[in-house]
Structure 1
Amino acid sequence: MAKQKRTGGQVPKPAEEGSTLKDLLGEGTLDKLKNMSRTMKEEEEKKRVAALEQQRAEQKEREKNKSFSELLDESHLDWKKFK
């Protein structure tokens, strides 16, 4: 029982060499997809900026509400030297 050789799983070439997705889709459809992609990227950027602004506002609020002992604990100075 000899093993049979497998022929490579070659992908058949498309009937038309020039047929791409751009060619198959109409110009109007392609423009709609590009506009949708651009809009989604802009919305994502706006969300990212809004999230950063929210984080900054929350950090500022936390900083404003800290007690003296919390501020003293976070200080990098060695206050024992100044006694």
Structure 2
Amino acid sequence: MSKKKQEAGTLGDQLNADLLSKLQSKKTELKKQEADREESERLQRIEERKRREANKSFEELLNESELDWKSFKK
């Protein structure tokens, strides 16, 4: 039984070094692609928010204002 264990080894031992390095580089590449996609989505949300803000009417901006206009009356 111990002979079988020694022959089997670990998965890392069974894979050759070249294949292991290819898998690790692919993993790194996929992580970078995911980070780039998330950054792109974040920038797109910011741009969309700016467009909505620029297209608001005066009434919408006034309604969103936190100022109490009555306190400025004398």
Bin for the TM-score computed over the shorter chain: 0.7 to 0.9
How far residue 16 of structure 1 moved from its aligned partner, in angstroms, is 1.8
How far residue 77 of structure 1 moved from its aligned partner, in angstroms, is 0.7
Question: Which structure has the greater CA radius of gyration?
Answer: 1
SS of structure 2 residue aligned to 1:66:
coil
Q: Give the structure 1 partner of residue 17 of structure 2.
A: 27
RMSD over aligned Cα atoms: 2.0
**Could you state the TM-score of these two structures normalised by the residue count of structure 2?**
0.87
Question: Percentage identity across aligned positions?
Answer: 42
> Which aligned segments of 4 or more residues in structure 1 are displaced greater than 4 angstroms?
none
The structure richer in helix per residue is 2
Structure 2 alignment gaps of length 5 or more: none
How far residue 26 of structure 1 moved from its aligned partner, in angstroms, is 0.6
Q: Give the structure 2 partner of residue 64 of structure 1.
A: 54
Structure 1 alignment gaps of length 5 or more: 1-11
Number of residue equivalences: 72
Q: Give the structure 1 partner of residue 45 of structure 2.
A: 55
| Residues in 2 aligned to 1:33 and 1:51: alpha-carbon distance in whole angstroms | 27
